[in-house]
Amino acid sequence: MKQLIYTFLFLIFSVAVIYSQPQPPSNLTASESPWGQFMRVKLNWTNNSGQFVSFNIYKKLGELNDTTSFVKIVNHFHHTTFYDKFVEGGNTYSYYVTAVNQQGESDPSNMVEITLADTILKAVISGNITDESSNLPLGGVKVFIIPETGHFVPFIFTDSLGNFSREVNAGSYYIKSMKFGYYAEYYDNVPNFQAATKLILNGEDTVNLQIALAPIIPPVTYPLSGSVTDSVGNPLKSWITVYRLGNNTHHHGMKRTITDTLGNYSVILNEGDTVVVHARPFNHNYLPEFFDDKNTFNEADRIAVTGNITGINFILEPKPVYNNGISGTVTNPDNEPVNAFVSAFRKTTSLQMDCRRYTTETDSTGFYQFINMIPGEYILLTIPRGIYSPTYFRYDGTQTLNWHHADSVVVTDNGIVTGINFNVVPLNGNGLAEISGSVYDDKGDAVAGVTVYVMDENNQITDYSISDERGNYLLTGLIPGQYRVYSDMVNYNSTQYHQVSVTNIIGLNSNYNFTLIPDAATGVDNDENLIDNFELYQNYPNPFNPVTSIKYAISSPQYVTLRIYDILGNEIVTLVNEQKQAGVYSVNFNASALGGLASGIYFYKITAGSFTASKKLVLMK
């Protein structure tokens, strides 16, 4: 009894810590951290605010006492060591770090500056770029000077006379030129770096290049057409959205149209495009879907545009009627709205998700809403458009692309669950190296719609890809460094990841393949290799009335008990009392099933082998 009271007091103290203003980090240091030929700045600091904080990192080019402004380079970082790769020898950089929690941002840490050694000889690359057909100079051409090894050099633009010039470190380089309305090319007049001419520069060398870009000829176009009806053939007025894919993965640009009175539609697309088609009925009593009878963007058929395309037809299913739903927002770290898909996957058992998923898209304010949902537990995934990383929903705001680590949202027969908000972070890749591979199931068949993502040594997601119908994926935007590549798909377990060392600033690292095992074949919610500790999660919703969900994780087979207590330590109910395999589990607590349970503070406690943990929950009638 005395131990339980101490546990309750500790929990109350912990809640006070979580909801207090964070303390500034301290002992910030900056040091040179070479990796091979490359230079990095390593930052270390001390966390003074406990485990419920993240960190913002600020940087400027210059000394601490100059007038240059600091710029935030990282949002919501969850570690106390950070490697800054975007530095050059001979420059001075200054840094500080702040702590962030639900109450706001702390004051800055101590500020540090560091001057990097510069013993590298210099050379100059200059040139002139013209229109290939008219020989007139081209201003505003984006010129990339790409080192074979070393740090990426920021691009420059040609002036109004087509001239450009850049001082670089002695070494080997490739040149890429780009301008809207013209075909991009590598020097000397080739479409890819594999065939490009390499410039080898010694100290004090100067080269002057003559480059001509070819105007883009308007593309050949083809119509894509189809219809939208209900199950008996009645036309359904619907929005048709056609998403154009880049690298057969992210969606880059879209076209929209509305079906006519007969339910027919047609859109014009460019030859060579790969697209995904989505139908959303005006009548909300029907479910939207992707072609062909798919419920999420990842699963949707990829359609290659090689000629006239017909028969992209939708037969939409009616919704069951429930007065319930889920709503929230998708924003970036500056709380600006982000256009994104949001998908909700319903749990049918502790092992798998329902094959029926709900998908919607945010509006111009970042708001999304599902209505009329089958009651149950859901996990949610957002896939933003543009430069942001996908993530599953977690109440603590942590980013994750492992569906086993997502938090459950409980939807009852009545009521909208509000505040299920995503804060998505930008992808941090801006290099030119790539990683590719394929995804297969345990029978050796290709698996489409798998999210494959790559994390750098700062545990930040650099890029992601969605496998195509052949199971292939391509990750781009990488700079030299150490990376880990993971795969994820609901109802599958991946027991592997790849450690990849990218040594060149440009090039393809291939054949990093994955084998996914269907959950039904594993027999548990999580593969044991994916769970590395025991954990009791905060219940949701909290406060609640009358149902809340409690989630816990165990890393090895254990006899598990999960009990509810009142504030005096009296046991109210036992929710779990059995042997469990390693995995992540959730259980509902329905206060109404206990009759006259009063509003107030209660506690739930788990015991699994030697692991014990308690948390507070609030019943509010």
pLDDT in tens, 306-319: 999 999 999 999 87
pLDDT band for position 17 (cuts 50, 70, 90): very low
List, in order, residues 6 or more apart from 273 with CB less than 8 Å away: 244, 245, 304, 305
- Pair (360, 463) in one structural domain: no
Domain endpoint, select from 88, 115, 142: 115
Residue 149 has a pLDDT of: 63
CA nearest to 226, candidates 293, 273, 271, 287: 293
pLDDT band for position 531 (cuts 50, 70, 90): low
Give me 25's structure tokens. Answer: 């980090």
Residue 246 has a pLDDT of: 66
Mean pLDDT score, 605-613: 86
Bond preceding residue 468 cis, omega within 30 of 0: no
Residue 149 sits in which domain range? 122-213
pLDDT band for position 567 (cuts 50, 70, 90): confident
Mean pLDDT score, 177-186: 92
Residue 596 has a pLDDT of: 72
pLDDT band for position 213 (cuts 50, 70, 90): very high
Q: Which run of H or E residues covers position 433?
A: strand 432-441
- Pair (300, 347) in one structural domain: no
Mean pLDDT score, 416-435: 88
Mean pLDDT score, 367-385: 90
Whose structure tokens read 């980090």? Answer: 25
Strand partners, 206: 124
- Pair (20, 105) in one structural domain: yes
pLDDT band for position 56 (cuts 50, 70, 90): very high
CA nearest to 262, candidates 225, 215, 208: 225
HSE-CB for 617 with a 13 A CA cutoff: 30
- Pair (231, 305) in one structural domain: yes
For the chain, give the number of residues.
621
Mean pLDDT score, 15-41: 75
In contact, 370 and 360? CB cutoff 8 Å? yes
The model's pTM is 0.52
pLDDT band for position 532 (cuts 50, 70, 90): low
> How far is it, in rounded angstroms, from Cα 359 to Cα 370?
8
In contact, 459 and 389? CB cutoff 8 Å? no
- Pair (89, 11) in one structural domain: yes
Amino acid at 181: G
Give me 4's structure tokens. Answer: 């339980």
- Pair (413, 392) in one structural domain: yes
Mean pLDDT score, 348-377: 78
Q: What average pLDDT does the chain have?
A: 84
Residue 526 has a pLDDT of: 36
- Pair (94, 30) in one structural domain: yes
In contact, 419 and 141? CB cutoff 8 Å? no
Amino acid at 620: M
Residue 250 has a pLDDT of: 53
Whose structure tokens read 């994926």? Answer: 473
Residue 68 has a pLDDT of: 86
The strand ranges marked E within 158-310 are 163-169, 171-178, 185-186, 199-201, 206-213, 221-229, 238-246, 250-258, 264-270, 274-281, 289-290, 303-304
In contact, 85 and 481? CB cutoff 8 Å? yes
> How far is it, in rounded angstroms, from Cα 515 to Cα 444?
8
Highest mean pLDDT among 11-25, 350-364, 522-536: 350-364
List, in order, residues 6 or more apart from 607 with CB less than 8 Å away: 560, 561
Domain endpoint, select from 528, 551, 577: 528
> How far is it, in rounded angstroms, from Cα 530 to Cα 527?
6
Q: How many structural domains are present in the chain?
A: 6
In contact, 143 and 128? CB cutoff 8 Å? no
Number of neighbouring beta carbons within 10 Å of residue 560 = 20
Q: How would DSSP label each residue in 547-565?
A: EEEEEEEESS-EEEEEEEE
Task: Give φ, ψ of 493 to 5 degrees.
Answer: -110, 135
List, in order, residues 6 or more apart from 195 with CB less than 8 Å away: 186
- Pair (284, 341) in one structural domain: no
CA dihedral 525→530→534→538, nearest 10 degrees, is -60
> How far is it, in rounded angstroms, from Cα 117 to Cα 143?
27
List, in order, residues 6 or more apart from 139 with CB less than 8 Å away: 157, 158, 159, 160, 161, 162
CATH code for position 446: 2.60.40.10
% of the chain exceeding 70 in pLDDT: 89
Give me 244's structure tokens. Answer: 């154009």
Tens of pLDDT, residue by residue over 280-304, are 999 878 889 999 988 888 788 999 9
**Taking 50 as the threshold, does the pLDDT of residue 529 lie above it?**
no
Strand partners, 285: none
> How far is it, in rounded angstroms, from Cα 45 to Cα 52?
16
Give me 567's structure tokens. Answer: 């504030």
**Taking 60 as the threshold, does the pLDDT of residue 14 lie above it?**
no
> How far is it, in rounded angstroms, from Cα 413 to Cα 436?
45
- Pair (101, 126) in one structural domain: no
Going from the C-alpha of 552 to that of each of 146, 488, 525, 576, 584, the distances in angstroms are: 49, 21, 12, 11, 6
In contact, 597 and 548? CB cutoff 8 Å? no
CATH code for position 290: 2.60.40.2190
> How far is it, in rounded angstroms, from Cα 461 to Cα 431?
14
Radius of gyration of the chain (CA): 28
- Pair (171, 157) in one structural domain: yes
Mean pLDDT score, 589-604: 82
Local structure of 400: helix, strand or coil = coil
**Taking 70 as the threshold, does the pLDDT of residue 527 lie above it?**
no
- Pair (136, 191) in one structural domain: yes
Mean pLDDT score, 494-498: 73
Residue 249 has a pLDDT of: 54
Going from the C-alpha of 357 to that of each of 289, 294, 464, 513, the distances in angstroms are: 10, 9, 22, 27
Domain endpoint, select from 115, 141, 166: 115
- Pair (356, 405) in one structural domain: yes
**Taking 50 as the threshold, does the pLDDT of residue 351 lie above it?**
no
